[in-house]
């Protein structure tokens, strides 16, 4: 992706200060059950004033504003902060009524938090404060610090573990969503996201797995997507990742909306729908992620869900 509590004592619900100095206590929110239908939004859309109307994204249940950066919000995350508190509250209420969680996605290709020396705990605390201040339902972690991960020295995995622990401490399970968006690969000696899952996977609600941008023909057939990936990225098809120990019900299949939304890995919605039918027949039901709105919207997800998960 890119960027244009003490035993016996309940965890207190977060309080946010609205413009004008009034406070609102957020209601407890249960983590949504699978399947998860996730759409990211990073592009500026002419004439928009905040996220799209719920009718435009009918069929999804998670909308991710991209991106929150170490330097502050950008693009759609920034636009959210420019709305007044009343407008944000009204939009959030309409999303909640439609069963859509509104979250922010962090980092993307712009940030390299490990390589640039960002403190993982302080970074997590800042992201959590943003989520709480602006009344969002959680955060997605799109970690693309490839230099740190490719070093295979454990620095990326350790940073992500500490960061995730600190973030979950501030955004309690059952009240806030925490997801990660990355690929899994056993070719990393340091473990990469397989190690992250083993260390802090219990704190992560699900993974928006990017089955794209990994090779010119990778994950473009149902077999390659679901059962057997190529030798370039071995053991990274859906059921191969699950066989590595990652819970199958946490592996959301991520795809680009169009060929222009990724370098490779595109599947047309009808073909993807057929693959979901095959995956569901093998016990999978985690859902689909797409990059990005408005290239994908209600009609795209309706087609993708039509075989295995019709509305």
Q: Domain containing 189 — which CATH number?
A: 3.20.20.80
Let me know if residue 248 belongs to a domain. Answer: yes
Let me know if residue 29 belongs to a domain. Answer: no
CB within 8 A of 33, min separation 6: which ones?
none
Percentage of residues of the chain with pLDDT beyond 70 = 91
Q: What is the pLDDT of residue 11?
A: 33
Let me know if residue 189 belongs to a domain. Answer: yes
Q: What is the pLDDT of residue 4?
A: 54
* 231, burial (CB in 10 Å: exposed 0-12, middle 13-18, buried 19+): exposed
Q: What is the pLDDT of residue 8?
A: 29
Q: What is the pLDDT of residue 3?
A: 57
Residues in the chain predicted with pLDDT less than 70, given as ranges, are 2-30
Q: What is the pLDDT of residue 31?
A: 77
Give the residue carrying structure tokens 């729908």.
273
Q: Is 281 left (phi over 0), alpha (psi -120 to 50) or beta?
A: alpha
Total count of domains within the chain: 1
Nearest alpha carbon to residue 169 among 141, 129, 208 = 129
Let me know if residue 73 belongs to a domain. Answer: yes
Let me know if residue 311 belongs to a domain. Answer: no
Let me know if residue 10 belongs to a domain. Answer: no
Let me know if residue 99 belongs to a domain. Answer: yes
Q: What is the pLDDT of residue 194?
A: 96
What range does the domain containing 152 cover? 36-306
Contact present, 156 and 190 (Cβ < 8 Å): yes
Q: What is the pLDDT of residue 126?
A: 98
Q: What is the pLDDT of residue 207?
A: 98
Q: What is the pLDDT of residue 30?
A: 58
Let me know if residue 269 belongs to a domain. Answer: yes
d(CA 102, CA 113): 24
């Amino acid at each position: 992706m890119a960027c244009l509590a003490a035993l016996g004592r309940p965890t207190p619900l977060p309080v946010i200060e609205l413009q004008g100095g009034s406070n609102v206590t957020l209601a407890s929110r249960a983590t949504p059950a699978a399947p998860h239908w996730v759409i990211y939004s990073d592009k500026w859309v002419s004439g928009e004033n905040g996220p799209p109307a719920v009718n435009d994204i009918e069929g999804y249940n998670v909308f991710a504003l991209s991106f929150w950066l170490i330097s502050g919000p950008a693009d759609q995350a920034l636009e959210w902060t420019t709305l007044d508190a009343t407008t944000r509250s009204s939009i959030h209420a309409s999303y909640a009524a439609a069963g859509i969680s509104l979250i922010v996605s962090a980092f993307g290709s712009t940030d390299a938090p490990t390589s640039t020396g960002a403190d993982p705990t302080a970074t997590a605390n800042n992201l959590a404060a943003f989520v709480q201040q602006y009344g969002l339902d959680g955060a997605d972690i799109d970690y693309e610090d490839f230099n740190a991960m490719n070093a295979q020295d454990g620095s990326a995995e350790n940073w992500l573990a500490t960061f995730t622990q600190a973030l979950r401490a501030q955004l309690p399970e059952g009240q806030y969503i925490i997801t990660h968006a990355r690929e899994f690969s056993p070719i990393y000696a340091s473990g990469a996201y397989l190690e992250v899952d083993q260390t802090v996977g219990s704190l992560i609600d699900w993974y928006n797995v990017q089955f794209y941008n990994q090779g010119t023909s990778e994950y473009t057939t149902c077999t390659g997507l679901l059962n057997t990936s190529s030798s370039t990225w071995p053991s990274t098809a859906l059921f191969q990742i699950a066989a590595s120990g990652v819970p199958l019900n946490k592996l959301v299949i991520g795809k680009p909306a169009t060929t222009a939304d990724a370098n490779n890995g595109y599947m047309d919605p009808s073909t993807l729908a057929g693959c979901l039918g095959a995956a569901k027949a093998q016990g999978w039901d985690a859902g689909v992620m797409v990059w990005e709105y408005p290239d994908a919207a209600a009609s795209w997800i309706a087609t993708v869900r039509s075989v295995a998960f019709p509305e």
